[in-house]
Amino acid sequence: SACSSLQESEKKVDYAQAPSAAEMQRVSPAFAHYTNDVVIGDLWQRPGLTPRDRSLITITTLITQQQAVELPYHFGRALDNGVTPEELSEIITHLAFYTGWGHSTAAAAILSDVFKERGIDNSDLPAVPANPLPIDRESERNRERLVEDNFGVVSPGVVDYTTNVLFRDLWIRPGLAPRDRSLVTVSALVAAGQAEQVTFHLNRAMDSGLTQAEAQETLTQLAFYAGWPRVFSAMPVFKSVFESRGLES
Amino acid sequence: SACSSLQESEKKVDYAQAPSAAEMQRVSPAFAHYTNDVVIGDLWQRPGLTPRDRSLITITTLITQQQAVELPYHFGRALDNGVTPEELSEIITHLAFYTGWGHSTAAAAILSDVFKERGIDNSDLPAVPANPLPIDRESERNRERLVEDNFGVVSPGVVDYTTNVLFRDLWIRPGLAPRDRSLVTVSALVAAGQAEQVTFHLNRAMDSGLTQAEAQETLTQLAFYAGWPRVFSAMPVFKSVFESRGLES
Amino acid sequence: SACSSLQESEKKVDYAQAPSAAEMQRVSPAFAHYTNDVVIGDLWQRPGLTPRDRSLITITTLITQQQAVELPYHFGRALDNGVTPEELSEIITHLAFYTGWGHSTAAAAILSDVFKERGIDNSDLPAVPANPLPIDRESERNRERLVEDNFGVVSPGVVDYTTNVLFRDLWIRPGLAPRDRSLVTVSALVAAGQAEQVTFHLNRAMDSGLTQAEAQETLTQLAFYAGWPRVFSAMPVFKSVFESRGLES
């Protein structure tokens, strides 16, 4: 019967659950200590970034690294820290292009449950915005020419979608401020270990208002969530960008 | 009792499920729109690659990036697009070596369920083929000498397995055409962010019949499934290979 | 009722389960053959590394690549091969910093279940050790100066945590021998595709007692579990380190 066979299935472990405090303690009192006293008690309290920015960086990292276990908690925390449901919707959409369709699809399934629990529903948001942001024509022309010159013969399909779907459509959606969209993009690149793509997007982020101090502290948040090595590989690129902009340190 | 405790466990969310259309819409009408109108409605309909090739690239990316949520759907789609059960069996086997044993083990658990639903069973396939493909002795001698000279003193074990298990055993299995095996390998390398390993395998793919136009469109498919940054890091390598072969563009 | 709705949920596939032998055979007799005859029957029996070291490398790879499906089996195997519960606790803690917080959190949930099944409980371990290992002051001063000079202006937060939480706290925890802690770190770097970070940590591993023969065979173990391309990208770095130390081959 259903019930007798369910006794079996009850034994199945659902690994998609985060460990409880008692389970963390059973496995590693040290890990529980670092989580409570260093990450939650110290890192998240640092003044260099708002809790909202830390949430943007953290959920981006979790989506990019497919860390489903922590996502329900951090989606909720992001909402509590002032990230709006529409912004979460945009981040999921944006990261489909910047980390792969499957990562965002998996994250959408989780966010859907978080939304249900909180009675949130984005269904009425427009799929195509009525009032897209303006395009900076000169910078877009430069970007397009550079990509066309370098890669037009390598993959016309990629170059075409990059222009028409990414930079003249996705990037001008008004649901996420350009500075936040760039912060999400830079965080995804560092989390994926793609320091070689950071220069363009970090410059774009700083052109859109991300300060050098915020960029510096973004690395600090990423060190814990994406891992130290990802950040150490990205630091030389951040350094070059800071130097090329002539900023103080 | 079993039933009362199951009421608890029912609340557990199974994150390994793909979101329904309604859930996608709840989370992000934009993401639903891009999925339906750009990816399914446009990308998959482009003439540059057969749907079967697009399926090979897509399931390779999903296995390499551990995107379990989309795999059941795309294994089914691959079968519908003409990838045979034996070819799926070979891809799982091949990717164990090229993305890590655990990735293929996880994918095998999913494929097993897809096969059960469709009444497919590969159990009778030979584990060791009776008639392996011929080895191109000269190219294999060159490959072996290069690896031995470079890395024989670095890891004799790796060099030995590379020759005896990979190139004189795995690669000559007849269950997957050499052109398809190379397409899968190149896709896995791009999806894993390992552009530095692409040159050898893209040349091998093109030696086995992958056309330049197909390679170009492979990047387009990968842009959506592996994410734009992976493809932008791979494009310079594809460009060099195209140029070294003196092909038109 | 609970029971009738559970008949539905029973149908849900739990993808976090490893495939059974019959399921492996149904999907790919070849993959089952390679797993049994090459990986279990040959690789794990090679004399170049102890089974305990192979377990350290393997669980590190599985945690780093988020391969949850194989972790329950390999945590159990690690315990059977002589890795102590305290060492597993330290590895989870260490990898939080070296592969990202979410990876270790997910692994902690799985290890908690393995511990429960075996009646193991680490709750009484000290979160902060009473007797930390001594710091090699000269080498730590050099490391600190190098990082401060290179990156002090890039991210003061990262540099500060690197010194105070990583090298003057995490690395001197006595629960994992320095040689093993470095072996875990090197394995994580190779598995994550970060060959560019290997030089410092491979030297540190060999300074702490990892022999060249063990380092060579570490690559062999990693080839199967992290995938061939990760290892081929790391081999030139291992080669440089071996040569810089003037070791025989």
CA separation for the pair A208, A178 (Å, rounded): 6
Q: Sign (positive/negative) of CA torsion A236, A239, A243, A249?
A: negative
Q: What is the DSSP letter of A45?
A: G
* Residue among C105, C115, C175 minimizing CB distance to A70: C105
pLDDT at A2 over 80: no
Select from B181, B183, B182, B248 the least CA-distant residue to B219.
Answer: B183
pLDDT at B88 over 50: yes
In this complex, the chains that touch A, judged by 3 or more CB pairs closer than 8 A, are: B, C
* Residue among B72, B97, B126 minimizing CB distance to C228: B97
* Residue among C7, C72, C106 minimizing CB distance to A67: C106
Record the tokens describing residue A86, joined without a space.
Answer: 């529409």
How confident is the model at residue A8, as a pLDDT? 33
CB-CB contact of B195 with C233 (8 Å): no
Select from B20, B37, B19, B30 the least CA-distant residue to A123.
Answer: B30
pLDDT digits (tens, 9 = 90+) for A130-152: 999 999 999 999 999 999 999 99
pLDDT at C12 over 90: no
C-alpha distance from residue A143 to each of A163, A235, B224 (Å): 9, 24, 20
CA separation for the pair B78, B43 (Å, rounded): 16
B239/A109 touch (CB, cutoff 8 Å), yes or no: no
pLDDT digits (tens, 9 = 90+) for C47-61: 999 999 999 999 999
Record the tokens describing residue A81, joined without a space.
Answer: 């820290």
The interaxial angle of helices C228-244 and B85-99, nearest 10 deg, is 20
Which chain B residues touch C25 with a CB distance below 8 Å?
Answer: 122-123
Q: How many CB atoms lie within 10 A of CB C226?
A: 31
- The secondary element (H helix, E strand) that includes residue A223 is helix A212-226
Record the tokens describing residue B153, joined without a space.
Answer: 């003193």
How confident is the model at residue A114, as a pLDDT? 97
Rounded to 10 degrees, the C-alpha dihedral B199/B204/B206/B212 comes to -20
Select from A15, A68, A18, A73 the least CA-distant residue to A44.
Answer: A73
Interface with A, mutate which of C4, C86, C155, C165 (most A CBs under 10 A) = C155
Please indicate if any CB of chain A lies within 8 Å of the CB of C219.
no
pLDDT digits (tens, 9 = 90+) for B175-211: 999 999 999 999 999 999 999 999 999 999 999 999 9
pLDDT at B118 over 50: yes
Record the tokens describing residue A114, joined without a space.
Answer: 């978080």
Please indicate if any CB of chain B lies within 8 Å of the CB of C26.
yes
Which chain B residue has its CA at the smallest distance from A190's CA?
A: B229
Mean pLDDT of chain B: 92
**C residues 69-88 near B, CB within 8 Å?**
69-70
How confident is the model at residue C196, as a pLDDT? 94
B2-6, B166-170, B232-236: which has the minimum mean pLDDT? B2-6
Select from B237, B236, B232 the least CA-distant residue to B202.
Answer: B237
CB-CB contact of B15 with A109 (8 Å): yes
How confident is the model at residue A186, as a pLDDT? 98
Which residue in this structure is represented by tokens 């140029």?
A: B243
Select from A104, A67, A184 the least CA-distant residue to B24.
Answer: A104
CA separation for the pair A106, B24 (Å, rounded): 10
pTM equals 0.94
Which chain B residues touch C55 with a CB distance below 8 Å?
Answer: none
A223/C158 touch (CB, cutoff 8 Å), yes or no: yes
CA separation for the pair C70, C110 (Å, rounded): 10
Which residue in this structure is represented by tokens 């498919």?
A: B221
Q: What is the mean pLDDT of residues B134-150?
A: 94
Radius of gyration of chain A (CA): 20
